[in-house]
Amino acid sequence: MAQRRQQPMVILSEDNERTQGEDAQDSNIRAGKAVANSVRTTLGPKGMDKMLVSSSGDVTITNDGATILNEMDIEHPAAQMLVEVAETQEIEVGDGTTTAAILAGELLAEAEELLDSDLHPTVIVEGYHEAAQLAHEAIDEQVLDGELDTDTLESVAESSMTGKGTGDITVDALASPVVSAVQQVATDEGVDREDIRIHTQTGAASSATEVVDGVIVDETPASETMDRQLTDATTAIIDTELDVTTGEADAEYNITDVDQLNQAIEAEEDELRGYADTIAEAGIDLLFSTNDINDRVVELLSREGIVAYEDLSASKATALAQATGATQLGTLEDIEAADLGTTAELSVEIYGEDTLTFIDGGAETDYVTLFVRGSTDHVVDELERALNDAIDVVIAALGSGSVVPGAGGTEIAIADHVRGHAASVEGRKQLAIEAFATAVDELPRTLAENTGMDPIDALVDLRARHDAQGRAGLVSTGRSGEVGDPVEAGILDPAAVKREAIESATEAATMILRIDDVISSDN
Ligand code: ADP
Ligand code: MG
């Protein structure tokens, strides 16, 4: 009896592994720090790139925090939470993923020291949350006055792209197409992200990247004899097969003589001609189909001067519907004018081995494509990621209507503000608030390191200039960096990106700190 009482009650199966208390915390903090360290060297314009090789041998060369963390095979649950920080950041504001991951890791590293000096995790968590509030105040103070004009938005786009694995590419050549793409589709209600597409095509310098109205599809008309250029074309999109119906009637054909054979052929011809006639009678000049079009129908359409595309993917059909205003039709019967769209301009062009069709719906529809050029697949892939970020930050800046100094300028202001308030906080929570400021300092310090500046000197100079002028950053131009005014240098980030980075990093770090028991099952 006595023996039974002493035995601990076992509620977990033997397959479970359990780490508790300080061990659990240690392991979580170490995993979190490791993730942050894995992207540290990529921060900022002079950040290095990473080459990611998948198990199937695919190579990605990138500097994008979210991409790196996504492609890495991360198993540790706490580390996985940091990856989620980057993902949230990417989804919410589209940029600042490296910043958020580094900050989360640094908050954990600082917490580790506080735990070592016996600060209770709840005190750290409270301190961090209070500090995050102070950080938001500091960001609000840093918001620049004035309108977000095209120049400002281009600066924002540029800052988000500098240092992406674009080599010697001049990003200012890309900032302008990004901003004009966003401006073209922007309405009073904001920007629908779906209205901006990216189409990549190798074979030219990235400076040839441009905004084109409408959509680009890598498709060729169904017949060589069809026009390669169209203007003001009435457009239909269908997803029904234009071929001989293989109904029951067919099976009953019992062809025994030439007459019957001729009849059968005629019936088929009638049916096919019927399709072409219906299309022509509906006034359609341009037909997109997600299905097959019988060769004979293609020929008849071509004779009528109608341009047709067959076997389009569903996503292309959706884009074309958006761009031309046409409704996707399941049948050719009872086509109404309202179902048809317009293509102001269509042109088929050849790029090396690829044929592309450019379709512009005209003034009625606002739909643009960034036609991204680059020398190789690796270049256009990384450009696509950089441009996606840039589009997002321009939208974020437009949405919140506010931008802040980049190049570590906002971070140094946050650290200063948080540290300034820590002194007035009673008790040991003060230590946690100070630790938060130290963690934020790590961002400009990393920028300095990645630029080849001495991080300690740079931080001292940066603080001195911030104290003297209220605004300072580690402006990187050409090969090196120096302490200067980020606004003068045109290095601006959306305030929303900074806010989200503070929010998601604090959230992840405090969540990890609250865990003191890790139970993992093997299955
Ligand atoms: P993230 O994933 O956090 O966006 P990035 O590698 O894109 O990481 O780096 C972003 C940081 O680089 C921002 O703080 C931004 O202000 C800064 N930055 C951008 N351009 C410059 C520049 N020319 N000089 C210094 N800092 C810059
Ligand atoms: Mg960025």
Q: Is the CB of 493 under 6 A from ligand 1?
A: yes
pLDDT digits (tens, 9 = 90+) for 273-330: 999 999 999 999 999 999 999 999 999 999 999 999 999 999 999 989 988 999 999 9
Q: Is the CB of 444 under 6 A from ligand 1?
A: no
**The pLDDT of residue 13:** 60
Measured by CA distance, the residue closest to atom 19 of ligand 1 is: 159
pLDDT digits (tens, 9 = 90+) for 23-47: 777 778 888 788 888 788 888 877 7
Residues assigned a catalytic role: 64, 97-98, 389
* Distance of CA 159 from the midpoint of ligand 2 (Å): 7
Q: How remote is the C-alpha of 253 from its chain's centroid? A: 57
Alpha carbons within 13 A on the beta-carbon side of 368: 20
CA nearest to 110, candidates 96, 99, 89, 125: 125
Contact 461/473 with Cβ under 8 angstroms?
no
Q: How remote is the C-alpha of 112 from its chain's centroid? A: 33
Q: Is the CB of 47 under 6 A from ligand 1?
A: yes
Using CA atoms, how far apart are residues 397 and 410, in angstroms rounded to an integer? 15
Which residue's structure tokens are 């950041």? Answer: 89
What is the chain's Cα-based Rg? Answer: 30
Contact 121/513 with Cβ under 8 angstroms?
yes
DSSP category for residue 16: -
* Distance of CA 386 from the midpoint of ligand 1 (Å): 12
Q: Is the CB of 476 under 6 A from ligand 1?
A: yes
Q: Is the CB of 504 under 6 A from ligand 1?
A: no
CA 497-500-503 angle, 5° bins: 150
Contact 142/358 with Cβ under 8 angstroms?
no
Q: Is the CB of 162 under 6 A from ligand 1?
A: yes
What's the Cα-to-Cα distance from 41 to each of 76, 201, 213, rounded to whole Å?
22, 30, 38
- Global confidence as pTM: 0.72
Which ligand 1 atom is nearest residue 43's CA?
6
Using CA atoms, how far apart are residues 283 and 334, in angstroms rounded to an integer? 13
Measured by CA distance, the residue closest to atom 12 of ligand 1 is: 44
Terminal-to-terminal C-alpha distance of the chain: 35
Which ligand 1 atom is nearest residue 405's CA?
16
pLDDT digits (tens, 9 = 90+) for 169-216: 556 678 888 998 998 888 888 888 888 999 999 888 778 888 888 899
Q: What is the 3-state secondary structure (H, E, C) of 463-480?
A: HHHHHHHCCCEEEEECCE
Q: Which of 103, 144, 159 to mutate to test ligand 1, by most ligand atoms within 8 A of the CB atom?
A: 159
**The pLDDT of residue 348:** 95
pLDDT digits (tens, 9 = 90+) for 361-418: 877 667 889 898 887 888 888 888 889 889 988 998 888 788 899 999 999 999 999 9
Which ligand 1 atom is nearest residue 95's CA?
4
**Nearest ligand to the CA atom of 64:** 1
